[in-house]
Amino acid sequence: MTYDDSNSIARRNVKVLVAAQAILGAQMPISLVLGGLAGQYLSSNPCWATLPIALIVFGSMLTAPVMSAIMQKYGRRTGFFIGVLGGIIGASIAATALWLNSFSLFLLGSLFTGIYMSAQGFYRFAATDMATEDYRPKAISWVMAGGLISAIIGPQLIKVTEGALDPIPFMGSYIAIVALNLVGSFLFLFLNIPKPKKPAANAPKGRSRRELLREPQILVAMISAMVAYALMNLVMTSTPLAVVGCGFEIANAADVVSGHVLAMYIPSFFTGHLIARFGAERIIAIGLVILAAAGSVALAGVELGNFFVALILLGIGWNFGFIGATTMLAGGHTEQERGRMQGMNDFSVFGMVTISSLSSGGLMNCSGGAMQDGWMAVNLAMIPLLMLAGSALIWFVLQGKTRLKPTTTP
């Protein structure tokens, strides 16, 4: 069997998942740009402005182990449809909350949106299900590259719909999210990933969660993913507030976030090739350096150019760090361990991101100084997490650990 034949189904699935990432994924830039602004509009305390974004991530964290178990038992398609349903319910509740001027109801909608975010996180894993080992990093990269289109669709929808139902701000954008979910849900009818076979009574069950965490490759991959995602979210969550607070328009904030999301996904066209050539560890290390550079640019000033450059570097750093960590993780577990490993990983990643979301709002609005001071505090908070991930990666390399070779394809 040729290389192309062995990956024919995987390539078809990648096309479906790229389209899903592009269309359904467009709701995430909308939610992340408007979540803090809507929170600031609805909340009586500005310190809680980013709480809606934190609850999106918290909902994703809570849902990840459940979503993983559902996919392991009933298949990827079932899990992805549940994610779409969560997106529809979440956006509908958020739109209603804006109409009723209810912050608490808006928080509930954000929590439901986390169900979709959790499901979207599994697109990258689904891309590897039918792929050969050599094709896995490329499959992950291509699926992540679908976010390039979502980075264009989402912010542009904000510009068109944000004031469509004035005097109720942002409500039109959340109705647009409902439409995105309804249209995008049909894509999963074309997904060809068989339901996992029920294991025989005497089949190997794989390692426990505790045993998996003792494997250096898995532990370092999880730390790298947690730090890359948490740092990206820490800075990006506060960006719309910082841009508007420094005297620029909501449209400027949307453009900055659009540039950021483009930078998150454009490198995906070649990240997989770089990982295949140089190894996941080196690409993760480069990602951490770029994340540090993003913080340095942000600390240098609050001109619109600084916001653009810092957020673009933030996106590239996240791409290298997160895709590198995902590839590293995919090579460290067997098929029997897939459900518990992927669920545990995303639970940990989004748990860390929840903390970063909450911290972002507190640092930004409650640092006791001007808006610029809050923005500086957000970027200085990157330092300890960068040190954590860098130290873990250096330790792993010095140990001379090599990639695991699972007995079956994950």
Question: Which helix or strand (DSSP H or E) is residue 101 part of?
Answer: none
pLDDT of residue 202: 63
Mean pLDDT to the nearest integer, 369-378: 82
**CA nearest to 126, candidates 66, 182, 188, 171:** 188
Mean pLDDT to the nearest integer, 123-152: 82
pLDDT of residue 311: 96
Task: Say how far apart CA 125 and CA 272 lie, in whole Å.
Answer: 14
> Would you report the helix, strand and coil content of the chain in percent, each value rounded to 5?
80, 0, 20
Confidence label for 135 from pLDDT (cuts 50, 70 and 90): confident
Which residue type does 4 have? D
- Tokens representing residue 111 in the block: 């929590």
pLDDT at 289 over 80: yes
pLDDT of residue 306: 93
Report in angstroms the alpha-carbon separations of 358 from 49, 69, 225, 244, 353: 9, 28, 19, 19, 9
Please tell me the least confidently modeled range out of 211-225, 353-367, 378-392. Answer: 353-367
Between 283 and 54, the more confident residue is 283
- Tokens representing residue 141 in the block: 């990269």
pLDDT at 7 over 50: yes
pLDDT at 409 over 60: no
Task: Say how far apart CA 270 and CA 320 lie, in whole Å.
Answer: 10
pLDDT of residue 410: 36
Please tell me the least confidently modeled range out of 76-85, 122-131, 261-270, 365-374. Answer: 365-374
Confidence label for 387 from pLDDT (cuts 50, 70 and 90): very high
Domain boundaries, the chain: 12-191+206-398
pTM: 0.74
CATH of 12-191+206-398, one of 3.90.230.10, 4.10.91.20, 3.30.110.30, 1.20.1250.20: 1.20.1250.20
Percentage of the residues of the chain whose pLDDT score is greater than 90: 41
Query: What does the DSSP 8-state code read for residue 134?
Result: T
pLDDT at 283 over 70: yes
**pLDDT tens per residue across span 311-358:** 999 999 999 999 899 888 877 766 667 777 777 888 888 889 888 878
pLDDT at 266 over 80: yes
